[in-house]
Structure 1
Amino acid sequence: MAFTTLIQAEELAALLAKEPGRVLVCDCSADLTDSAAGARVHAAGHVPGAIHIDLERDLSSAKNGRNGRHPLPTREAYAARMAALGLSGDMQVVAYDNAGGMYAARLWWMLRWIGHEAAAVLDGGLPAWQKAGGRLETGASAPRRAGDLPLRASLVQTVDYAAVLADLGPQRKQVIDARAADRFRGENETLDPIGGHIPGARNRFFRDNLGADGRFKAPEALRREFDAVSGGRSGPELVAQCGSGVTACHNLLAMEVAGLHGASLYPGSWSEWSAQPGAPTAQGAV
Structure 2
Amino acid sequence: MNFPLVTTDWLAQHLEDPDLVLLDASIDIVLGKEPLVYDELYVIPGALSCQIDKLFFNHQSPQTHAMPTEDQFTVATKSLGISHNSTVVIYDDQGIYSAPRAWWTFKAMGFDKVFVLDGGLPQWRSEGRDTVRQFATATDSGDIKGRLQQYKVCDTEFVLTHLGHAKVDIIDARAAGRFNGTSPEPRVGMRSGHIPGSLNLPFAQVLNGFKMKSIRELHTIFATLDTSNNAQRVFSCGSGITACILILASYVAGHHQAALYDGSWAVWGGDAALPIE
Same fold (TM over 0.5): yes
2:103 match: 108
Identity %, equivalent residues: 32
Instruction: Choose from 188, 192, 195 the match for 2:192.
Output: 195
State yes or no: 1:274 paired with 2:263.
no
Instruction: Choose from 235, 250, 269 the match for 2:245.
Output: 250
Residues 208-240 of structure 1, C-alpha deviations (whole Å, 9 max, x = no match)? 11114x2111112101101211x2412643211
State yes or no: 1:28 paired with 2:25.
yes
SS at match of 2:71: helix
Structure 1 unpaired stretches of 5+: none
Residues 127-166 of structure 1, C-alpha deviations (whole Å, 9 max, x = no match)? 2212444200103433543222244573962221011111
Give the root-mean-square deviation of aligned CA atoms.
Answer: 2.5
Deviation at 1:126, TM superposition (A): 1.3
Maintained 8 Å contact 2:110/2:148: yes
Instruction: Choose from 219, 226, 242 the match for 1:223.
Output: 219
Detail structure 1 runs of 4+ shifted over 4 Å in the superposition: 40-43
Rate the CA distance shift 1:33–1:247 in 2: closer, same or farther, 3 A. Answer: closer
Deviation at 1:91, TM superposition (A): 0.8
Instruction: Name the aligned partner's letter for residue 198 of structure 1.
Output: I
Instruction: Name the aligned partner's letter for residue 142 of structure 2.
Output: G
Maintained 8 Å contact 1:26/1:51: yes
SS at match of 1:141: coil
For 1:179 and 1:45, how far apart are their aligned partners in 2? 29
Rate the CA distance shift 1:42–1:9 in 2: closer, same or farther, 3 A. Answer: farther
State yes or no: 1:164 paired with 2:159.
yes
How many residue pairs are counted as aligned between the two chains? Answer: 271
Deviation at 1:12, TM superposition (A): 0.4
Deviation at 1:64, TM superposition (A): 4.8
Structure 2 unpaired stretches of 5+: none
SS at match of 1:135: coil
State yes or no: 1:175 paired with 2:170.
yes
Maintained 8 Å contact 2:42/2:134: yes
Deviation at 1:61, TM superposition (A): 0.8
Instruction: Name the aligned partner's letter for residue 188 of structure 1.
Output: P
Deviation at 1:191, TM superposition (A): 2.9
Deviation at 1:30, TM superposition (A): 1.2
